[in-house]
Amino acid sequence: MVYLDDSIMIKGKPASAGSKMLENFIAPFDATAAVRIKENAETVRLGEFGLKAPKMLPDGPLLCNDVFGHVRAAATKQGLYYIRPTYGTVSRYGLIPAVCSMDQIGVVCKDPYEGFELLSKIAGHDEKDGAMFPEKHYSYVKSDKSPVLFKEALPYSELYGSVFEILACAELSGNLSRYDGIKFGYRAENFKGLDELYIKTRTGGFGNEVKFALTAGCLALSQDYYTALYEKAMKLRRLIKESLRFDQYDVLVLPVESPLAVLAGLPSLSFGEVQLAAQVKNEGALLAALEVIA
C-alpha cells in the first residue's frame, strides 16, 4: 500500500493539491508515477500546493512533491525519512504543477531503503514529460566508498532563502493562473462580470499562504521588479549551483529547512535535523553518508 499526495493524479479520483480551488476536480488521466508503482494506492490531501504544513503524515510510504519544505520538516519531526531524487528523474506527467523548475516527486518513508526501492520503480524517462534526463531506469545502490562530508557554510548561503522564495513564488504565480473558475474546479457564486468572476473565485478559492505567494510572484515578475528580483535571482541561482564543489566532497550536510537541494536539483535525504545533498545522480552517496552519520 502506497499513499499518494493527491496532486499526483489517479484517473477518476479527486485531485485537489490540497486546495479548495480544485475540490471537485476529478483527475482525467493517470500520473506516470501512479501507474509505475503497480500497487494499491490511496490519495491523501496535504498542504495547499505544498505551501502549508500538512497536519499529519500517513505512516506508510508517501509519494509527494515537496518544493517548499513543509513535508520534509513534518516527516523528520515524525521520525520519518524524506528522499527527494535528482530533478528530472521522475516523470511529472499527472503531477499538479507548482514550481516547474523545482517540481520533483519524492518519498516519505520509515526506512530509506524502502524509499529508494519505491523510487527505483517510478524513476526513469517518460516521453510525456518534456524536462527529464534520458535514462530509462535508476537503481539506487549504496556507494561503497566512504563519503567525504561537508558541513561548513557555503558561499551565498545567506541568499538561498530569498533566491528560492523569489523564483518559487514567481513560477507558482504562472502555474496557478489556470485556476480561474471557467473550465473546472471552484467558481465563486456571486459575481458581476468577468473580472469579478476571476477575482472572487481566486480570492475565495486560495488560502492565505497561496494568495501571498501569488501576489509576491506577480511583484517579482512585474516590470517594476523583474530585473532587480526575478532576473537577479535566476543569475544567483547559477552562481549558487556553480559554487558547489563536488570534486572536493561527496555529500553536503545541510539543515532540514535549507532550500539548496531544491534550488540546485540535487538528490537529498532528510531525517532528524539534517538534510544530506549529493551530486546530481549520486543518490548512493546519500545512503553511505546516512550510515556514517547515524
Partner 1 sequence: MNLQPYEAMAKLELTEDERRELSGKLETLLKAFEPAQNIDTSGTEPLVTVLTEQNILREDISMKMLSREELLSGAPEQYDGYFQVPKTLD
Partner 2 sequence: MKQYEVVMGLEVHVELATQSKLFCSCSAKFGADANENVCPACAGMPGMPAVTNKRAVELGIAAAIVTNSEITRVMSFDKKSYFYPDLPTGYQITQLYAPICKNGWVEIETGKGKKKITLKQIHIEEDAGKLVHDSRTGTTLVDFNRTSVPLVEIVSNPDFRSAEEVVAYLEKLRSLLSFAGVSDCKMQEGSMRCDVNISVREYGSDTLGTRTEIKNMNSLKAIAAAIEFESGRHIDALETGSETLVQETRRWDDNIGETFAMREKENATDYRYFPNPELMPVVIDGDWIERVRISLPEPADLKFERMTVQLGLSEYDSKIITGSKNLSDIFDKTRAHFDNPKEIVNWIIVELLSIAKGDNKGEDDISIDCEKFAKLIELVDGRTINRNVGKKLLVKVFEEGIDPAEYVKEKGLGLISDTGIIEDAIKAALAENAKSVDEYKNGNAKVIGFFVGRIMKKLGGKADPKLVNELLMKALSDR
Residue 287 dihedral angles phi and psi, to the nearest 5°? -65, -40
Instruction: Check residue 183 for interaction with partner 2 (CB under 8 A).
Output: yes
Cell output for 60: 506508510
Closest approach, Cβ 12 to partner 1, in A, equals 11
Nearest CA to 167 among 210, 225, 106, 231? 231
150 touches partner 2 (CB under 8 A): no
**Partner from partner 2, partner 1, none contacting 154, C-beta within 5 to 8 A by type:** none
If the CB atoms of residues 116 and 160 are measured against partner 1, the closer one turns out to be: 160
The partner in contact with residue 159, picked from partner 1, partner 2, none with C-beta cut-offs of 5 to 8 angstroms by kind, is partner 1
Binding mask 28-67 for partner 2 (x = CB under 8 A): xx-x------------------------------------
Q: Are strands 274-278 and 81-84 parallel, antiparallel or unpaired?
A: unpaired
- If you compute the radius of gyration of the chain from its CA atoms, what whole number of angstroms results? 19
Please choose, from the candidates 213, 259, 214, 219, the residue with its C-alpha nearest in 3D space to the C-alpha of residue 236: 259
Minimum CB distance to partner 1, residue 288 (Å): 23
Per CB under 8 A, the segment of 20-28, 69-77, 149-157, 204-212 that binds partner 2 is 20-28
Q: Is 203 in the site for partner 2 (CB under 8 A)?
A: no
Give the residues lining the site for partner 1 (CB under 8 A).
24-26, 28-29, 87-88, 100-101, 127, 130-134, 156, 158-159, 161-163, 165-166, 173, 180-187, 191-195, 197-199, 202-203, 206, 208, 211-212, 214-219, 222, 228-229, 231-239, 241, 263-265, 280
Q: To 5 degrees, how large is the angle CA 88–CA 91–CA 95?
A: 115
Residues ≥6 apart with Cβ < 8 Å to 2: 37, 39, 40, 41, 42, 60, 61, 62, 63, 118
Choose among partner 2, partner 1, none what residue 92 binds, the Cβ cut-off being 5 to 8 Å by kind.
partner 2
- Rounded to whole angstroms, the Cα distance separating 219 from 212 reads 11
* Selection from 257, 247, 284 nearest residue 139 by Cα: 284
Q: Is 222 in the site for partner 2 (CB under 8 A)?
A: yes
Binding of residue 267 to partner 2 (CB under 8 A): no
Q: Are 248 and 150 in contact (CB under 8 A)?
A: yes
Binding-residue total with partner 2 (CB under 8 A): 43
